[in-house]
Amino acid sequence: MAPGLKSVTAAQQQDLQLQRRLQQDSIQLAGKTIYINPFLYWRRFDSNTDRWLREPGQLSEEQIQQNRVRFYPELEWALLDERDQEIKDGAVEMFLKSLELISTFHPELTSGQLLEVERKMAITKKRSFERWVEKSYRRRSREETREKRRFARNRFWRGWGEWIALDTTHQALVPMVALLVLSAVAGWSLGSSRSSCPTLVLPPEQTGVR
């Protein structure tokens, strides 16, 4: 195959992938393209909205539980383990946040049109939201672990410094330090005296060497 034809085919494949992704991330309503991927609105976010969207746990637990069946009608929540329940609750929160953002940026949408948005979102974004929540929890866990280690390290050095500053510590350390200094001086003096002592050389007749 010619190089030019290869590049055209690769470009076409990339365009097809982008089109499929855009179809999953948007819906056509009344001749307008409505994005159902909330992160595609990021240029219109302020820092507070961005943090509100990205961080799980911004909505109340009661609000999330009330909407479980709305987005996961097929699940028996009582049969889920704690980890799966936490991730799917986070996905429910993402659904609610996304719908709130869409209704804010598209106030002209009717209740029927918002229902269409919700239906497509439930079909195409469920697994994406779950992956995003799972990644967010892993990142939060790593940050909490780093923070705990930093706190333990700071507490250790603070406790050590406070112990050094105590008068009783000073009273205990002074004789120890003095003993160490005296031991070092005595060792140095002994080594010096040995190295300076003259070596006795016997005459040949006393050694038996001729």
User: What average pLDDT does this structure show over 9-15?
Assistant: 66
The pTM score is: 0.62
Instruction: Give 105-136 pLDDT, tens digit per residue.
Output: 999 999 999 999 999 999 999 999 999 999 98
Q: What is the pLDDT of residue 71?
A: 94
- 200 or 168, which is more confident: 168
Residue 210 is predicted with a pLDDT of 47
The SS3 assignment for 26 reads strand
CA 100, 106, 110, 112 dihedral sign is: negative
pLDDT, average across residues 162-186: 70
> Higher-confidence residue: 209 or 27?
27
**What pLDDT, on the 0 to 100 scale, is given for residue 207?**
46
Round to whole Å and give the CA distance between 36 and 16.
Answer: 19
Which string of DSSP letters, residue by residue, matches 74-140? Answer: T--GGGS-HHHHHHHHHHHHHHHHHHHHHHHH-TT--HHHHHHHHHHHHHHSHHHHHHHHHHHHHHH
SS3 track for 156-209:
HHHHHHHHHHCHHHHHHHHHHHHHHHHHHHHHHHHHHHHHHCCCCCCCHHHHCC
